[in-house]
């Protein structure tokens, strides 16, 4: 399943604890008088290399007069950015103290020096990026000060790694130009410098190509898949004109960010082949195939006419994107169609190649040399190392870090972008209400701890490591708000690692800088996830059948404080018992103070034995996804944790004393996954009724059946349906394995929740 299935005005940062937590059951106000003014020592983000304090301070009461030197376009752009982000603070031109920009020679790329004294401040750098980053650091200090004073100091700073990037997939789900600009602002505020823009894939072709207009006319639209019998969803469409793209490229360049477009070959080609079938292998495309996810078998052919068309496309791409790099993909090219083609086999022989893998190497080399002849450099995913490609090609390592190690040893520049460590389509937490994505939590702390310098490389080989990049694949991220939620603040950790050049296990130190950074970005439109510091509140029946046993947890092993019914807060040291009707509120702590708005849950006796989908476990953990229902077209939809290759769930430690009934809330979703031969491995027990039935087994998935719930009542309903059945009498705690019988995998049935009920007293 590979990389896609295996993803202004001045603001006071005086409050540390104001990051919203959409996962909380109810908004919770932290205890009073625990949110002091942010410490200016932690205002800079990412962590600077060196800060030297001086005597005195700079008073911002009159604002700051921006003073770029005449004729210095880079300094003028840096000043313009600060004016846009800082509003009135940077709009003064009278007697306010100046922020000067001075270009000097001899400093490293992107490095800067920022000197702040009582009479003003000055940024020194050798290049535009350094002037920009010095200005951004001053903006960070000014916002943290709340427009008050900044201590006099000198900051000598610069990044350890030259590539600090994010990949945004706009092929699977389109984001508006306005959103792309906002995303670029958020990156710039983190001093990131590469936006890898995934513009084409099997599902859509988003970039206007004037020589081939059908690429967007046909390839830019699809009808989303729905389960059999469900109402159709409206067409999904969205493309970028060349004028829109040029404007975005210029906007990014003004913020120190190079956009790297990706035109994926020879696989991930379905959208292009739908538009121009002569570029494919002559294999028909069944209607609606483009609505699927996964690894598709359709490839470009290797004919001269097709390669000439791809070169024409790349020519237009280069005219839009002036940066050095063009990404040409090369991943997940299933070669079955090449193997089955007599013409392709003849082509392999005529070129004197060994096999289809060598043909892909030749194919990629042909396009890489075309780019090189035009002064550009190609990037490809690490599969292209399987064939011979020119040394000038940069390798993006996604199948772990092995590709980067091999590339560096073979003399290729390389970028670390490994799955799953830096794949931000994985969920950040399993809180109720969080958006869907790939299963398997990738936490903020784990991204912060990522090491971008493989120990297996020598110092000479390590010089080929350009940096790191996190990828935001959007198969299951269909809105812009969800894109922001999934990307941030984990991209903040990527920025920190790239700037410092190494991972960190000091999670609290990172959070001290992160909180004011996220707060200052709220006026720029960023609404990040708070899942990393929002406690999870788990409940189950008490051991003696009275009340509820409550367990709290939070990522990064942060301390937790909780209260019951508004009583005095207590430090959490382990599970505790709460009575029916009690309200539990909890906060993670940083330096003894609450982070965010916390979480809340009211104890209800009738819900102690209810598990939502994401609180269950899948049985085999082959391809876990948190999938969204295909119904309704508008409004909220359910989301289900499901292993699409083995739909089976485990309810751990169910208390079955006096339980005689089980309810399953279930939904159906289309099997729109290109999984090749893996589809043949999806097995179900034979159904006893035409629609099949859910089976509940005791202790393990081959254990005795203790409940059977026919699917028929749900089969005609496109949304979530509640099925009820009797549960065989059992005592004590047991695991329950829930699966279903079916003739095949389409539709997939999924569980929204499981609830157990005690028998009514006679």
Task: Please write the tens of the pLDDT for every residue from 79-133.
Answer: 999 999 988 888 777 789 999 999 999 999 999 999 999 999 999 999 999 999 9
pLDDT, residue 543, reads 80
Instruction: Please count the structural domains in the chain.
Output: 4
Q: What would the DSSP string read from start to end of 351-409? A: TT-SSHHHHHHHHHHHHHHHHHHTT-EEEEEGGGGGS---TTPEEEE-STTHHHHHHHH
Tokens standing for residue 429:
């937490």
Q: Are 534 and 429 in contact (CB under 8 A)?
A: yes
What distance in Å separates the CA atoms of residue 235 and residue 249, rounded to the nearest whole number?
28
What distance in Å separates the CA atoms of residue 324 and residue 261, rounded to the nearest whole number?
11
**3-state class of 227 per DSSP?**
coil
Q: Is residue 182 part of a domain?
A: yes
Q: Is 120 exposed, middle or buried (0-12, 13-18, 19+ CB in 10 A)?
A: middle
Spatial CA neighbour of 163 closest among 379, 419, 406, 469:
469
Q: Is residue 513 part of a domain?
A: no
239 with 353, same domain?
yes
Q: Is residue 241 part of a domain?
A: yes
Spatial CA neighbour of 238 closest among 271, 205, 196, 210:
205
CATH no. for residue 588?
2.60.40
Q: Which domain holds residue 600?
A: 8-33+529-604
Q: Is 369 exposed, middle or buried (0-12, 13-18, 19+ CB in 10 A)?
A: middle
**Last residue within a domain, chosen from 562, 581, 604:** 604
422 with 353, same domain?
yes
328 with 393, same domain?
yes
What distance in Å separates the CA atoms of residue 714 and residue 666, rounded to the nearest whole number?
8
What distance in Å separates the CA atoms of residue 185 and residue 180, rounded to the nearest whole number?
9
268 with 131, same domain?
no
Tokens standing for residue 449:
């701890």
**3-state class of 195 per DSSP?**
strand
The residues, ordered by sequence, that sit 6+ positions from 743 with a Cβ below 8 Å of its Cβ are: 684, 687, 692
Q: Is residue 3 part of a domain?
A: no
pLDDT, residue 110, reads 98
What distance in Å separates the CA atoms of residue 144 and residue 627, rounded to the nearest whole number?
40
What distance in Å separates the CA atoms of residue 203 and residue 294, rounded to the nearest whole number?
10
pLDDT, residue 21, reads 28
23: left (phi over 0), alpha (psi -120 to 50) or beta: alpha
Q: Which residues of the chain have pLDDT under 70?
A: 1-39, 760-762
Q: Is residue 38 part of a domain?
A: no
What distance in Å separates the CA atoms of residue 63 and residue 199, rounded to the nearest whole number?
42
319 with 191, same domain?
yes
pLDDT, residue 3, reads 53
Q: Are 707 and 701 in contact (CB under 8 A)?
A: no
252 with 337, same domain?
yes
**Last residue within a domain, chosen from 502, 520, 551:** 502
233 with 350, same domain?
yes
321 with 172, same domain?
yes
**3-state class of 707 per DSSP?**
strand
Tokens standing for residue 567:
């009583």
Tokens standing for residue 638:
């359910």
**Last residue within a domain, chosen from 587, 604, 621:** 604
Q: Is residue 673 part of a domain?
A: yes
Q: Rounded to a whole number, what is the distance in angstroms from the first to the last CA of the chain? A: 54
Q: What would the DSSP string read from start to end of 307-350? A: HHHHHHHHHHHHHH--SSEEEEE--S---HHHHT-HHHHHHHHH
What distance in Å separates the CA atoms of residue 425 and residue 623, rounded to the nearest whole number?
13
CATH no. for residue 138?
3.30.379.10
261 with 399, same domain?
yes
pLDDT, residue 758, reads 84
134 with 210, same domain?
no
Q: Are 490 and 186 in contact (CB under 8 A)?
A: no
Q: Is residue 658 part of a domain?
A: yes
Q: Is residue 211 part of a domain?
A: yes
What distance in Å separates the CA atoms of residue 168 and residue 311, rounded to the nearest whole number?
24
CATH no. for residue 281?
3.20.20.80
The residues, ordered by sequence, that sit 6+ positions from 611 with a Cβ below 8 Å of its Cβ are: 651, 753, 754, 755
- Residue 430: count other Cβ atoms within 10 Å of its Cβ: 17
Q: Are 15 and 144 in contact (CB under 8 A)?
A: no
Q: 541: number of CA atoms within 13 Å, CB side?
A: 21
- Residue 238: count other Cβ atoms within 10 Å of its Cβ: 15
Spatial CA neighbour of 335 closest among 327, 323, 347:
347
What distance in Å separates the CA atoms of residue 257 and residue 129, rounded to the nearest whole number?
9
pLDDT, residue 664, reads 98
Cis peptide before 336 (omega within 30 of 0): no
495 with 358, same domain?
yes
Q: Are 279 and 214 in contact (CB under 8 A)?
A: no
Could you list the active site residues? 201, 268, 332
pLDDT, residue 719, reads 94
190 with 127, same domain?
no
């Amino acid at each position: 399943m590979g990389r896609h299935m295996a993803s202004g005005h001045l603001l006071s940062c005086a409050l540390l604890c104001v990051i919203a937590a959409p996962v909380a059951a109810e908004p919770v106000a932290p205890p009073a008088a625990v949110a002091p003014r942010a410490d200016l020592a932690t205002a800079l983000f990412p962590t600077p290399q060196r800060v030297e304090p001086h005597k005195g301070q700079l008073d911002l009461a009159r604002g700051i007069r921006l003073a770029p030197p005449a004729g210095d376009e880079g300094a003028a752009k840096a000043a313009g950015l600060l004016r846009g982000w800082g509003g009135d603070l940077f709009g003064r031109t009278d007697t306010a103290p100046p922020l000067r920009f001075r270009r000097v020679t001899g400093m490293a790329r992107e490095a800067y020096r920022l000197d702040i004294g009582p009479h003003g401040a000055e940024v020194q750098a050798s290049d535009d990026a350094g002037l920009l980053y010095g200005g951004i650091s001053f903006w960070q200090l000014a916002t943290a000060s709340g427009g008050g004073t900044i201590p006099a100091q000198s900051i000598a700073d610069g990044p350890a790694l030259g590539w600090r990037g994010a990949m945004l997939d706009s092929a699977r789900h389109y984001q508006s130009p306005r959103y792309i600009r906002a995303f670029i602002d958020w990156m710039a505020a983190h001093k990131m410098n590469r936006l890898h823009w995934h513009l084409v894939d099997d599902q859509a072709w988003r970039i206007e190509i004037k020589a081939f207009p059908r690429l967007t006319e046909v390839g830019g639209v699809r009808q989303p898949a729905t389960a059999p019998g469900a109402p159709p969803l409206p067409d999904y469409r969205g493309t970028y004109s060349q004028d829109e793209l040029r404007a975005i490229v210029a906007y990014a360049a003004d913020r120190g960010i190079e956009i790297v477009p990706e035109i994926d070959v020879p696989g991930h080609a379905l959208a292009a082949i739908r538009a121009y079938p002569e570029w494919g292998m002559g294999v028909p495309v069944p209607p609606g195939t483009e609505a699927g996810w996964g690894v598709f078998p359709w490839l470009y052919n290797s004919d001269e006419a097709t390669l000439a068309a791809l070169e024409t496309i790349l020519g237009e791409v280069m005219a839009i994107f002036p940066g050095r790099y063009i990404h040409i993909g090369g991943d997940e090219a299933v070669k079955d169609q090449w193997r089955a083609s007599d013409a392709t086999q003849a082509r392999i022989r005529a070129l004197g190649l060994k096999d289809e893998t060598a043909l892909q190497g030749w194919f990629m080399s042909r396009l890489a040399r075309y780019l090189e002849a035009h002064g550009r450099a190609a990037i490809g995913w690490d599969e292209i190392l399987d064939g011979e490609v020119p040394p000038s090609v940069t390798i993006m390592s996604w199948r772990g870090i092995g590709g980067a190690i091999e590339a560096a040893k073979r003399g290729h520049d390389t970028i670390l972008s490994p799955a799953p460590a830096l794949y931000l389509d994985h969920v950040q937490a399993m809180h109720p209400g969080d958006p869907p994505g790939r299963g398997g939590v990738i936490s903020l702390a784990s991204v912060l701890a990522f090491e971008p310098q493989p120990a297996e490389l020598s110092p000479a080989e390590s010089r080929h490591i350009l940096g790191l990049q996190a990828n935001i694949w959007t198969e299951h991220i269909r809105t812009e708000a969800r894109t922001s939620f999934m990307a941030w603040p984990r991209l903040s950790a990527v920025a920190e690692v790239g700037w410092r050049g190494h991972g960190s296990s000091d999670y609290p130190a990172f959070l001290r800088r992160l909180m004011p950074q996220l707060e200052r970005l709220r006026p720029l439109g960023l609404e990040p996830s708070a899942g990393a510091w929002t406690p999870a509140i788990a409940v189950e029946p008490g051991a003696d059948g009275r009340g509820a046993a409550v367990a709290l947890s939070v990522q990064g092993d942060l301390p937790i404080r909780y209260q019951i019914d508004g009583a005095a807060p207590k430090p959490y040291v382990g599970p505790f018992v709460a009575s029916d009707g009690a309200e539990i509120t909890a906060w993670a702590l940083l330096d003894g103070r609450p982070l965010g708005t916390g979480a809340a849950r009211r104890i209800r006796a009738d819900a102690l034995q209810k598990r939502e989908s994401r609180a269950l476990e899948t049985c085999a953990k082959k391809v876990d996804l948190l999938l969204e229902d295909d119904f309704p077209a508008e409004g909220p939809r359910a989301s289900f944790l499901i292993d699409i290759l083995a739909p089976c769930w485990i309810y751990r430690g169910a208390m079955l004393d006096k339980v005689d009934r089980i309810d399953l809330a279930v939904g159906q979703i289309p099997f729109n996954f290109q999984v090749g031969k893996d589809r043949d491995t999806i097995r179900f027990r034979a159904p006893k009724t035409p629609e099949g039935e859910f089976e509940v087994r005791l202790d393990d998935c081959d254990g005795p059946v203790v409940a059977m719930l026919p699917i028929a009542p749900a089969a005609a309903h496109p949304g979530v349906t509640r099925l009820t059945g009797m549960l065989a009498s059992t005592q004590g705690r047991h695991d329950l394995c829930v699966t279903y019988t079916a003739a095949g995998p389409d539709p997939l049935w999924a569980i929204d929740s499981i609830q157990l009920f005690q028998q009514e007293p006679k």
